[in-house]
C-alpha cells in the first residue's frame, strides 16, 4: 500500500495542513485561522478526512523545527509536523 506524507506547519501565524503530491501544482490544503493552540489530534484527523485522507495504520506525527534563515538563530522558528497518510478508501487519493 502506497502512502503519502502530510505536513502541518506554522510560522507563528495560522496553521496549515497539506498533503505532499509531487508533480501536482496545488496540494490539498486545510488551514486553521489561528496561531495557537496547536491543532489537536482530533482536529488533524478531521482536516485530513476533509481532504480525502487518513493516517496510515501505525503512523504517528513527528515534529521538527526550522527557521526562515538557518544562519540567523534570532529569526522566528517554523514548526513542522509530518505523518504518513493514505486515501480514505485505503489507497492513494
Through-space distance between the first and last CA atoms of the chain, rounded to whole angstroms: 12
Per-residue model confidence (pLDDT) at position 16: 96
Q: Model-level pTM?
A: 0.85
Nearest to 61 by CA among 76, 83, 89, 40: 83
Cα of 30 vs its chain's centroid, Å: 9
Residue 40 pLDDT level (bands cut at 50, 70, 90): very high
CA distance 75 to 53: 33
Residue 56 pLDDT level (bands cut at 50, 70, 90): very high
Amino acid at each position: 500500500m502506497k502512502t503519502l506524507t502530510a505536513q502541518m506547519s506554522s510560522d507563528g501565524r495560522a496553521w496549515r495542513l497539506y498533503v505532499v503530491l509531487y508533480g501536482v501544482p496545488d496540494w490539498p490544503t486545510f488551514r486553521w485561522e489561528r496561531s495557537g493552540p496547536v491543532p489537536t489530534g482530533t482536529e488533524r484527523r478531521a482536516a485530513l478526512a476533509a481532504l480525502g485522507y487518513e493516517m496510515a495504520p501505525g503512523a504517528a506525527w513527528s515534529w521538527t523545527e526550522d527557521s526562515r534563515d538557518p544562519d540567523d538563530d534570532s529569526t522566528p522558528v517554523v514548526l513542522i509536523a509530518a505523518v504518513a497518510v493514505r486515501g480514505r478508501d485505503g489507497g492513494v487519493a
